Each structure stands twice: as C-alpha cells, then as structure tokens.
Amino acid sequence: MTGAGFLNIAAQLSLLLILIGMAVAFIRLAKGPSLADRVVALDMMTVTIISFCGVYAVFMDEPSFLDVAIVLALVGFLATVALARYAERRVERDRRQQKLAEPEETKS
C-alpha cells in the first residue's frame, strides 16, 4: 500500500466517523432535555463541521476549505459565548422570579 492510498483510506474513514459524530450531536440537539445540553450539542456540531472541512481539505487537496474552517471556528466561538450568556441570564432571571414569589407564598 502506498502512502497516497493509505491517506485516501484514512481520510474516507475520518469523514465517515465525523458524520457519525455529527448525527449523534444532532440527536442530542433535538432531544435536549435542557438548554445546556442543546448548547453543548450545537457546539459539538460546530466542531465536527470544522473538522469535516479540515479533513475534506486534505482529502481533496484544496486548501481553501481551511479558510472556511477558520471562519466557522470564529463564528462558532462567538455563538457559544452568546448562548452561554443567554443561559446564564435566564437562570438569574428565574432565581429573581422565585425570590419575588416566595414572600407571597409565606404571607398566606
């Protein structure tokens, strides 16, 4: 087996495994059950898409896909940070609402 043949088989196997990982992440994204699970699943899908772009760039010998992977990594990072801030604020808002509701329950 030549080096090019081995690289071809390794790239095809890698692409298959990445697609399986993406399918698992999509199932977690769809099922949930919590917002945190969905955020982590979305982040995992972003990472698998980035890795798919990298492996595909090597497989097709097309370095322009690496630029796509870099841009997607930056956008994915910003999206993860934004979703984490949203989730944090949601938890704080829920706590405040519970504190406001507690005195009403104890008075009656």
- For residue 88, what pLDDT is reported? 87
Q: Tell me what pLDDT residue 57 has.
A: 94
Token output for 104: 């009403």
60 is written with which tokens? 């097709």
pLDDT beyond 80 at 106:
no
pLDDT digits (tens, 9 = 90+) for 16-45: 999 999 999 999 999 989 888 898 999 999
Hey, where are the domains in the chain?
Answer: 3-107
CATH T-level fold of 3-107: Helix Hairpins (1.10.287)
Query: Kind and range of the H or E element at 57?
Result: helix 35-60
Q: What is the pLDDT of residue 87?
A: 85
DSSP state of 108: -
pLDDT in tens, 38-84: 989 999 999 999 999 999 999 999 999 999 999 999 999 999 899 88
